[in-house]
Amino acid sequence: MIRNKGQRILLVASEVHPFARTGGLADMTFSFAKALDKAGYEVAIAQPLYRKVFPPYHALKEIAPLKVPIGDEIKNGFLYKSWLEETIPVWLIEQNDYFDREYLYGNGNGDYPDNPERFAFFCRGILSGLQQINWRPDIIHCNDWQTALIPLYKKIFYGQDSFYQNTGTLFTIHNLAYQGVFPKAKLKALGLGEEFFNLERLEFYGNINMMKAGIIYADLLNTVSPNYARQIQTKEYGCGLDGLLRKRKVDLYGIINGIDCDFWNPQNDIELIKHFSVTSLDGKNEDKIALQRENNLPVKDVPLVGMVSRLIDQKGLDLVVEAFNEMVKLPIQFILIGQGDSYYQNILSQLQNRFPKSTNIHIGFDIATAKRIYAGSDILLMPSKFEPCGIAQLIGMRYGTIPVVRKTGGLVDTVKEFDIFNEQGNGFLFKNYSGRDLIDALRKVSYVFHDKDIWERLIRNVMQEDFSWEVSIRGYNKVYNMIHHKMGKFGTPKINPFDIGIPSIRNKSKSYSSEKYYRIGVLQSSDN
């Protein structure tokens, strides 16, 4: 039963497109808020008022002054209001000492040392500001460590306040590797006493860990895929918090992120040379030819492999570098767009110089080029070391581009091994984090590529998948209802913590495999 009519959901994030953006969190919050609004929730957003918000996308209106204790000081700020697409309120927390800076989190030399103070002000400012303007949320939905103090502050500073008595909290872990770990000396700045410096609270190997506040004090928790929810309870993926997450496993859910299917749509995407759809695929080949020409690659019928990725270790760039000589011998063509670590930017540029007839590297990011890579590539490569959800593979499938991914995190939940015999499945996976296994997967998909009838069937398989936000919203609706149950609002729906947010993937395949085509073997169930 859906109980969302009239529910007020406040999404709190450190960045929201188009107001501020460094990565996928901003895009996710933007599209998720629109989907919640469409589903009938009364949704609003909160983020800091950074310098980069100006010039504002919509007129900013000063709403209320803020006075927030930070250590021994009282820091003044303001609550501002703007709008997302003229229908969704956006509350912006201003404090110029903290947020009027060139960068959101830190410069090229590392994070700002006062990030604990900055985001403590943000979290307490949200709770104070909402009370002043009498906007009472049913759920405060917090995202990542920058917002993790909100569930803690709500309980210790507003625990007896009738205003928040019926407000629940959900804490979403987008990437457990980023936890907000700072020296113990920052504890006072957060407004917390020594009693919070122990293993059962915020202490973490002699430091304080702000993400622990969200994990411990939020009513419920979720990650952005069911498999990642399992993985972070293990030592290999738990980043030091696996024990704590196991303690809260009954409150931990996994829900796949969605994508904005109106924005990512090959039937009307203005960045493409030719539009196409699942019932009319001819345009995809024209987009491939245009992409080859745009990137000074020979126009020929070989697999064109694309990557749209941050250039960091997590994304498996070391495997790409390790395997590159063998990759180009398959043969394939390779196009990448991304930015990140200078090491990868430099070495990938060197590879382009070595292999100019098969390789093109775009250092930086622009959405138009990314869209043409999604649409014109035959294969989308994601050899991630770990991947909480993954969005690129969802977008790639929307454009009929076949994912080749490592078997980890949300990639397991969204990519199912293609079986050439029954033509079921939507991509190719490899298990071990090695360049050899990456090459084996690319060799496998290259073999299938040259059977055009089967390849066309595979393209149609991936384009029929439904990774829209409408699917994800159903999972979040169940979690929101669980929070209301915990607060005594209504009865308990029976929910498997790992099965509420999995899209209904077509063509699931666990059939036999043949050594002729499959060296990796049968894809195992994610329950194993």
Residues 82-93: tens digit of each pLDDT: 999 889 999 999
pTM to 2 decimal places: 0.89
41 and 145 co-located in one domain = yes
Spatial distance between the Cα atoms of 401 and 404, rounded to a whole number of angstroms: 10
| 84 plus 170 within the same structural domain | yes
209 and 306 inside one domain: no
Instruction: Determine, yes or no, domain membership for 41.
Output: yes
Last residue of a domain, one of 422, 447, 463: 463
**pLDDT of res. 485:** 85
When mean pLDDT is compared across 57-66, 207-216, 269-278, 456-465, the lowest value belongs to 57-66
Same domain assignment for residues 75 and 222: yes
User: In this structure, are 249 and 286 located in the same domain?
Assistant: no
Please enumerate, as own/partner, the contacts of 240-246 that have beta carbons within 8 Å and a separation of 24 or more: 240/204, 240/205, 241/176, 241/179, 241/209, 241/211, 241/212, 241/215, 244/212, 244/215, 244/216, 245/215, 245/221
Could you say which of 463, 491, 520 is where a domain stops?
463
What is the span of the domain harbouring residue 372?
282-463
pLDDT reading at 365 higher than 80: yes
- The DSSP call for residue 468 is B
What's the mean pLDDT in 203-209? 97
Res 72 pLDDT > 80: yes
Which residues have CB under 8 Å from 66's CB, separation 6+? Answer: 76, 77, 78, 79, 93, 95, 125, 128, 129
Residue 86: predicted pLDDT: 84
Q: Residue 157 is encoded by which pair of tokens? A: 């500073």
**Per-residue pLDDT, 454:** 96
Across the range 301-318, mean pLDDT stands at 96
What is the model's pLDDT at position 447?
Answer: 94
- Cis link prior to 69 (omega < 30° from 0)? no
CA distance from start to end of the chain = 31
How confident is residue 399, by pLDDT bands cut at 50, 70 and 90? Answer: very high
> If pLDDT is split at 50, 70 and 90, which confidence band does 227 have?
very high
- Residue 520 has a pLDDT of 22
Backbone φ and ψ for 22, nearest 5 degrees, come out as: -125, -15
Residue 135 is assigned to a structural domain of this protein = yes
Q: Over range 320-329, report the average pLDDT.
A: 95
d(CA 314, CA 322): 15
Please report the pLDDT score of residue 498 as a whole number.
45
Helix (DSSP H) and strand (DSSP E) numbers for the chain: 16, 20
**Phi-psi category of 346—alpha, beta or left, where left has phi over 0 and alpha has psi -120 to 50?**
alpha
Do the domain assignments include residue 350? yes
* Structure letter (DSSP) for residue 218: S
Indicate which CATH number applies to the domain containing 323: 3.40.50.2000
Q: What mean pLDDT, rounded, does the chain reach?
A: 90
For residue range 109-130, list pLDDT tens digits in order.
789 999 999 999 999 999 999 9
Count of domains observed in the chain:
2
Percent of the chain with pLDDT over 90: 83
Whether 31 and 168 map to the same domain: the answer is: yes
Spell out the SS3 assignment of 3-25.
CCCCCEEEEECCCCCCCCCCCHH
Within-domain flag for 3:
no
339, 221: one domain: no
Sheet containing 181-183: give its strands across: 181-183, 207-209, 203-204
pLDDT classification of 502: cutoffs 50, 70, 90: very low
Q: What is the DSSP letter of 190?
A: G
Q: Collapse the DSSP code of 467 into the 3-class scheme (helix H, G, I; strand E, B; otherwise coil) and give the result.
A: coil
φ/ψ of 89, rounded to 5, equals -65, 140
pLDDT tens column, 467-482 = 999 999 999 999 999 9
Phi, psi values for residue 94, rounded to 5° = -100, 135
For residue 493, pLDDT beyond 90 = no
* Residue 6, pLDDT score: 67
Indicate whether 288 and 189 sit together in one domain: no
Structure tokens at 150: 């909100």
Q: Is there a single domain that holds both residue 91 and residue 206?
A: yes
Q: Is residue 268 part of a domain?
A: no
Q: Which of 18, 180, 12 is nearest to 85 (CA)?
A: 18
- pLDDT(351) > 70: yes
- Residue 489, pLDDT score: 60
The tally of CA atoms less than 13 A away on the side-chain side of residue 301 is: 7
Q: What is the pLDDT of residue 97?
A: 96
The pLDDT confidence band at residue 492, using thresholds 50, 70 and 90, is very low
For residue 491, pLDDT over 80 is answered with no
Does 16 have pLDDT greater than 60? yes
Contact 382, 390 (CB under 8 A): yes
Confidence of residue 4 (pLDDT cuts 50, 70, 90): low
Q: Do residue 242 and residue 147 come from a single domain?
A: yes
Tell me: do 312 and 248 sit in the same domain: no
Task: Quick: pLDDT tens for 37-69.
Answer: 999 999 999 999 999 886 565 678 889 999 999
Q: Are residues 326 and 430 in the same domain?
A: yes
Q: Give the span between the Cα atoms of 457 and 420, in whole angstroms.
A: 10
Tokens of 213: 């506040």
Query: How does DSSP classify residue 280?
Result: B
User: Pairing between strand 88-94 and 73-84?
Assistant: antiparallel
